[in-house]
Structure 1
Amino acid sequence: MKQGLRGEGLLRQGVASRSALSVAMLRAAHQLIDQPLVFDDPLALAVLGPEHAETVRSTPEKFDTGIMRVLRAAMAVRSRFAEDELAAALERGVRQYVVLGAGLDSYAYRDPAPGLSVFEVDHPATQRWKRGLLEQARVAAPASLKYVPVDFERDDLADKLTAAGCKLDEPVFFSWLGVTLYLTNDAVFDTLAFVAGLPSGSGIVFDYGVVPELLNPMERMGMAYFAKKYEAEGEPWISFFAPEVLACELRALGFGDVSDHGADQLRARYLASRNDGLQLGGGTRLMRAHVK
């Protein structure tokens, strides 16, 4: 079972993902601009490394324009949602957490839950870059963290996780954020089928792009702008889904508890009663699926 994660064109050249940096800078800007915080990440600036952290600190206004405000909200909400669902998995007794396409995610370095093993899966180029930034920031990797470098053209994810110490005969919780847009449908469903085949209690949270026909004209314009931008940077957007169809396909794979969360639900859960203009766009979708 071989999968890609993101930006294969860039990663084949050994270049770290630009989208991973953009996302991390938005998470960091959220820590400086928004009160109260939706997603409290005390390491959000540190994981950027000194140079990028200073960019966010010195010019936060760059991340507070109209469309950047919407993106900033989306990054904060999806990270909070994933970690809320992880907390629920921990309550169910899950003790293994896999971050697929980890980028500059900082959960493993923020005093993770006792007894939890964390596996960060990403392309070797991105992991080398991240570890270099962490070294510059003097952020140490805890013993509970295992890096799982995967060359997605050659490596098998299950084999790599097993080699890193992940026990695939026990429940595993996965987060998979900011990735599915960059994959073919086959690659997306290969990964989902793999998770669906794991023991009962396993689960996954992921975000995905909504088919443009379901967006309003302004949302379609925003999607087209960023799709063109990332394609020019070697990270084209490939896959989009209709929420109801995707939920049905997940159930067909064997997931029992499937829950799709659109912008309205997420606003009510995380952004209610705010008066600072922090809002989600209609294209924000998060899916949660548990193995029966």
Structure 2
Amino acid sequence: MKKGKPSKTAEGIALIRAIEASKPEAQRISYDPFARSFVHPLSYFISKWIVSTGLYEKIGKGAFAFITARERYIDDYLIHCLKEGLEQIVILGAGYDTRAYRIKGIEKTKVFEVDHPATQMMKRKKLRKVIHPLPDHVTFVPVDFDTQILAEQLFRNGYQKESKTLFIWQGVTVYLKPEGIENTLSFMTKHAPPGSAVIFDYYYKETLEDTNRTDVRNMHRTAKITGENYLFGVEEGKIELFLKDRGFENIQNASSYELKQRYLTGANSHRTIAQGLAIVSANTISK
């Protein structure tokens, strides 16, 4: 992300959610009624046309379907956790995530939206145009990870280490250095009670290094423009060991194939989903 500027990647993801939300209910995988509020109208109509012509699919094969399936999978996991007695939610790198405003029952929890100050400022400005006043159950936690420490900022804003917590870490890990990954996972195991959970998507390390793939080359070209470089991946088949070694259990990994089997059915069965990345959930170890 360019210094002092809102995340362009966050806007791009909101754009995809907005296009998916415009489809009839029987034809969409996920639904975000607020996503369109975060994108410029001209960008929306141009991008919708690009998607409809198939040009987007040629640039990033299966990316659109993965992003919408990811949204739905994490929504479903969040709803499951809410039914299990969740007390607080931390959305790391929240971008233009709108779960705090559209998931039924989430208002009974405390939600912390953590993100870079520039992106968060833009989000709050746009949110106020469609949701006013902003709900009391949401606390915005601006964190500049170059100069501030996540734990300090969360505790300063009311995070309770005794409360059962879900950490949502969507579309973030690939942009972090290994030490950033380690520090964040360590915070979860040290400052959340047993049975708390995390869910995040990640790239296979092999995917990020496969420059023979056109979509991967395009990803790295785009990163040079946005300033959000691809830095972190986990070797395929190694995520369970990776998380066990860092204090997690009940690890559930959903590959692109599993996402396709679950969500790309019926009217969406013809859609292709990107390969080489997955979504994983896990719990902090019960003592």
Please confirm whether the aligned pair reaches a TM-score higher than 0.5, indicating the same fold.
yes
Give the direction of change, closer, same or farther, for the CA distance of 1:288–1:138 in structure 2 (3 Å limit).
closer
**2:243 equivalent among 230, 250, 261:** 250
Work out whether residues 169 and 199 of structure 1, in 8 Å CA contact, stay in contact via their aligned partners in 2.
yes
1:58 deviates by 5.9
Q: TM-score, normalised by structure 1?
A: 0.87
The answer to whether the 8 Å contact 1:181/1:238 transfers is yes
Match for 1:160 among 139, 153, 159? 153
- Map of 1:211 onto structure 2: 205
Q: CA deviation at 1:112?
A: 4.4
Report Cα offsets for 1:87-127 as digits up to 9, x if no partner.
12112211211110010111112264141111100010111
Specify whether residues 133 and 225 from structure 1 end up closer, same or farther in structure 2 by C-alpha distance, changes over 3 A only: same
Q: Contact 1:95 / 1:116 at 8 angstroms: preserved in 2?
A: yes
Q: What is the CA-CA distance between 1:238 and the residue it aligns to?
A: 0.9
Deviation at 1:185, TM superposition (A): 1.4
How many pairs align? 278
Residue by residue, what CA displacement relative to the aligned partner does 1:10-35 show, whole Å, maximum 9, x if unpaired? 1xx21111111111101111112464
What's the Cα RMSD here? Answer: 2.2
**Whole-angstrom CA distance in 1 between matches of 2:78 and 2:140:** 19
Contact 1:215/1:282 (<8 A) preserved: no
User: Following TM superposition, by how much is the alpha carbon of 1:244 offset from its aligned partner in structure 2, in angstroms?
Assistant: 2.3
TM-score by length of 2: 0.89
- Candidates 254, 260, 268, aligned match of 1:267: 260
- What corresponds to 1:228 in structure 2? 221
The 8 Å contact of residues 94 and 201 in structure 1, kept in 2 or not, is answered as no
User: Which of 190, 195, 202 is the matching residue for 2:188?
Assistant: 195
How far is 1:257 from its partner?
0.8
2: CA distance between counterparts of 1:214 and 1:150?
A: 27
Summarize the Cα distance change of 1:184–1:217 in structure 2 as closer, same or farther, 3 Å threshold: closer
Distance 2:17 2:71 in 1: 9
CA contact (8 A) 1:211 1:242 kept: yes
Q: Any unmatched runs of 5+ in structure 1? A: 1-6
2:49 aligns with: 61
- Which residue in the other structure is 1:28 paired with? 18
Q: Structure 2, unaligned stretches of length 5 or more?
A: none
Identity of aligned residues (%): 29
| 1:56-135 mapped onto 2 (5 Å cutoff) | 56-57=44-45, 60-64=48-52, 65=54, 66-67=57-58, 70-110=62-102, 112-113=104-105, 114-135=107-128
